């Protein structure tokens, strides 16, 4: 009996120690260390510690030192990484139907994007959780435009050029191929060399990327038409999320959503600055009329058949939900 009491006492002591021991989660980030975004991420880590009275801590691995998104997701699945900030590339790796949100030429405005994120992502959250991940917040950071070394307004203009497709976003690359464009896959670090050598003379990118990587110097014509939104998310493994006491979770989620909002504000600020810098250094912006936009949209086929359903990247069910909601939103 004395031995049993001793064992039970040790168990209770150990349980108490486990409850007071801080949880430290490894957080993978592609954001370069020292940037405003990285500082925002560190602020969130500090808030998590404050909210949980020091019981939940985050150790950030910035600048891609934990690997690319495919590596990070693999490490999350085996428990080497607990949390990550992912682009659409990583999110669609977990659940491909997320690509329904950033298909080319589907959404046309920030208002439509906000509406779809609010209305549709809860359903995606459930499907992602079934894969072993919890979405703490969805993020957005601008839109993708077309850049080229000559004026591109209509699809016929782009068809004459060698168009760089993304190695990390094969869905978009394949879609543009199916539209009939001469697409050449190019990895981001090789884009500048590709433009310099003439291997490609057009690409799609957010203005921030075109400015940061100096692509606009060789592709100085920008089509002022939103091709697709740049979205992502902050995720944690379900395994790690279960370890966090429930009493902290609501506040932790709010902290993460605030960080995502700050990311967006900074992205819009940087995009404006990037565009101003490019305009001062020779960027030429061309506008597309509503009629021309319809020409681009028509390339996706009826009901976006290039990317939806059998042989596509997005299930018909997910697309029809978004399409129905968009129709409702646009009729208001």
* C-beta of residue 224 within 8 angstroms of C-beta of residue 207: no
How remote is the C-alpha of 148 from its chain's centroid? 24
- Residue of 116, 20, 132, 129 lying closest to 74 (CA atoms): 132
Instruction: Determine the Cα–Cα distance for residues 45 and 56; give it in Å rounded to an integer.
Output: 9
Which residue carries 């590709």 as its tokens? 194
* C-beta of residue 202 within 8 angstroms of C-beta of residue 158: yes
Instruction: Determine the Cα–Cα distance for residues 96 and 89; give it in Å rounded to an integer.
Output: 9
- Residue of 308, 310, 293 lying closest to 145 (CA atoms): 293
pLDDT tens, per residue, the chain with 332 residues = 556 555 455 555 555 444 457 899 999 998 888 888 889 999 999 999 999 999 999 999 998 899 988 899 999 999 999 999 998 889 999 999 998 998 899 998 999 999 999 999 999 999 999 999 999 999 998 899 999 999 999 999 999 999 998 887 787 788 899 999 999 999 888 999 999 999 999 999 999 889 988 999 999 999 999 999 999 999 999 999 999 999 999 999 999 999 999 989 988 898 999 999 999 999 999 999 999 999 999 999 988 999 898 878 899 999 999 999 999 999 98
Which residue carries 């969130």 as its tokens? 44
Give me the pLDDT at residue 204, please.
92
Residues 100-117: tens digit of each pLDDT: 998 899 998 999 999 999
Helix residue spans in the chain (DSSP H): 2-20, 36-51, 69-77, 88-94, 110-130, 155-159, 170-178, 191-197, 207-212, 238-243, 246-280, 290-298, 316-330
Instruction: Determine the Cα–Cα distance for residues 121 and 239; give it in Å rounded to an integer.
Output: 21
3-state DSSP assignment of residue 245: coil
- 229: domain CATH number is 3.40.190.170
Instruction: Determine the Cα–Cα distance for residues 55 and 329; give it in Å rounded to an integer.
Output: 43
* C-beta of residue 314 within 8 angstroms of C-beta of residue 322: no
Structural domains of the chain, count? 1
Burial group, residue 39, by CB count within 10 angstroms (0-12, 13-18, 19+): middle
- Residue of 162, 170, 213 lying closest to 191 (CA atoms): 213
Structure tokens, 132:
């072993």
Instruction: Determine the Cα–Cα distance for residues 66 and 315; give it in Å rounded to an integer.
Output: 31
3-state DSSP assignment of residue 226: strand
- Which domain range does residue 159 map to? 2-330
- Residue of 170, 172, 116, 165 lying closest to 140 (CA atoms): 116
* C-beta of residue 132 within 8 angstroms of C-beta of residue 238: yes
């Amino acid at each position: 009996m004395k031995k049993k009491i001793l064992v039970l006492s040790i168990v209770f002591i150990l349980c108490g120690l486990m409850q007071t021991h801080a949880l430290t989660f490894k957080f993978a980030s592609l954001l370069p260390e020292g940037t405003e975004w990285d500082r925002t991420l560190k602020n969130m880590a500090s808030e998590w510690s404050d909210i949980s009275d020091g019981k939940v801590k985050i150790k950030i691995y910035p600048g891609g030192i934990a690997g690319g998104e495919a590596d990070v997701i693999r490490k999350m699945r085996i428990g080497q990484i607990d949390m990550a900030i992912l682009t659409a590339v990583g999110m669609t790796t977990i659940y491909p139907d997320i690509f329904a949100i950033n298909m080319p030429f589907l959404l046309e405005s920030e208002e439509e994007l906000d509406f779809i994120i609010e209305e549709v992502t809860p359903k995606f959250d459930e499907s992602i959780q079934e894969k072993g991940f919890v979405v703490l917040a969805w993020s957005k950071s601008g839109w993708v435009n077309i850049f080229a070394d000559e004026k591109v307004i209509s699809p016929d203009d782009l068809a004459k050029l060698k168009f760089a497709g993304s190695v990390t976003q094969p869905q978009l690359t394949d879609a543009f191929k199916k539209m009939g464009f001469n697409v050449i896959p190019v990895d981001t670090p090789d884009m500048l060399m590709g433009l310099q050598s003439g291997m490609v003379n057009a690409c799609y990118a957010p203005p921030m990327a075109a400015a940061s990587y100096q692509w606009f110097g060789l592709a100085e014509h920008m089509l002022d038409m939103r091709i697709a939104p740049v979205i992502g998310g902050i995720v944690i493994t379900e395994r790690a999320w279960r370890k966090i006491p429930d009493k902290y979770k609501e506040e932790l989620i709010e902290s993460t959503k605030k960080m995502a909002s700050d990311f967006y504000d900074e992205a819009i600020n940087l995009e404006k600055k990037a565009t101003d810098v490019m305009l001062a250094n020779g960027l030429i912006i061309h506008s597309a009329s509503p009629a021309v936009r319809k020409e681009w949209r028509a390339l996706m086929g009826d009901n976006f058949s290039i990317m939806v359903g059998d042989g596509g990247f997005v299930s018909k069910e997910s697309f029809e939900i978004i399409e129905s909601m968009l129709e409702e939103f646009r009729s208001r």
